[in-house]
């Protein structure tokens, strides 16, 4: 009987504590990251590129160093350091930057409008296709 009472009490009290655990809210502003301009050894960024989920930052030791042996790898989603191949010289996180708007390719957009216009017109005759292309130019 005592066990049953304890269980009922526990089940009735647990929902009250469910709201106490802090929950992280997703940010409405996307975070974007870039390589730090210098590593901890004060060597300037030589090159960088994104590969999958990683931002790769190369810090050459001199102007003639093309070995890419000193680099840091950061997460694209969190900006945190994931690999240090810079003799522990990598900053612990990438630099937070404003996210760039995606550039639209004008030729692609024009072709897309043509396809949409053809689909709307039924796209059956050659003359209607030619007319669509002239209208969009």
How does pLDDT run across 57-95, given as a tens digit for each residue? 999 988 888 787 899 999 999 999 999 999 999 999 999
| Residues 92/78/95/51 CA torsion (nearest 10 deg) | 100
What is the C-alpha to C-alpha distance for residues 51 and 48, in angstroms, rounded to an integer?
10
What is the C-alpha to C-alpha distance for residues 22 and 78, in angstroms, rounded to an integer?
20
Q: Percent of the chain at pLDDT above 70? A: 66
Helix, coil or strand: residue 32: strand
Give the phi and the psi of residue 67 in degrees, each rounded to 5: -80, -20
Q: Residue ranges per domain, the chain?
A: 32-97, 106-136
In this predicted structure, the answer to whether residue 26 has a pLDDT above a threshold of 80 is: no
What is the C-alpha to C-alpha distance for residues 131 and 42, in angstroms, rounded to an integer?
61
Q: pLDDT-derived band of residue 126, with 50, 70 and 90 as boundaries?
A: low
pTM: 0.53
How does pLDDT run across 11-23, given as a tens digit for each residue? 444 343 333 333 3
Token couple for 106: 């004008």
Average pLDDT over residues 87-111: 84
């Amino acid at each position: 009987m005592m066990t049953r009472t304890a269980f009922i009490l526990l089940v009735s009290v647990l929902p009250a504590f469910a709201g106490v655990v802090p929950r992280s809210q997703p940010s409405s502003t996307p975070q974007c990251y870039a390589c730090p301009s210098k590593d901890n050894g004060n060597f300037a960024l030589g090159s960088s590129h994104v590969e999958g989920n990683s931002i790769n930052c190369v810090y050459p030791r001199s102007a003639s160093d093309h070995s890419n042996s000193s680099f840091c790898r950061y997460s694209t989603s969190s900006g945190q350091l994931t690999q240090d191949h810079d003799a522990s010289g990598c900053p612990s996180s990438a630099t937070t930057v404003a996210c760039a708007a995606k550039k639209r390719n004008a030729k692609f957009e024009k072709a897309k409008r043509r396809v949409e216009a053809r689909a709307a017109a039924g796209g059956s005759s050659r003359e209607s296709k030619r007319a669509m292309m002239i209208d969009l130019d």
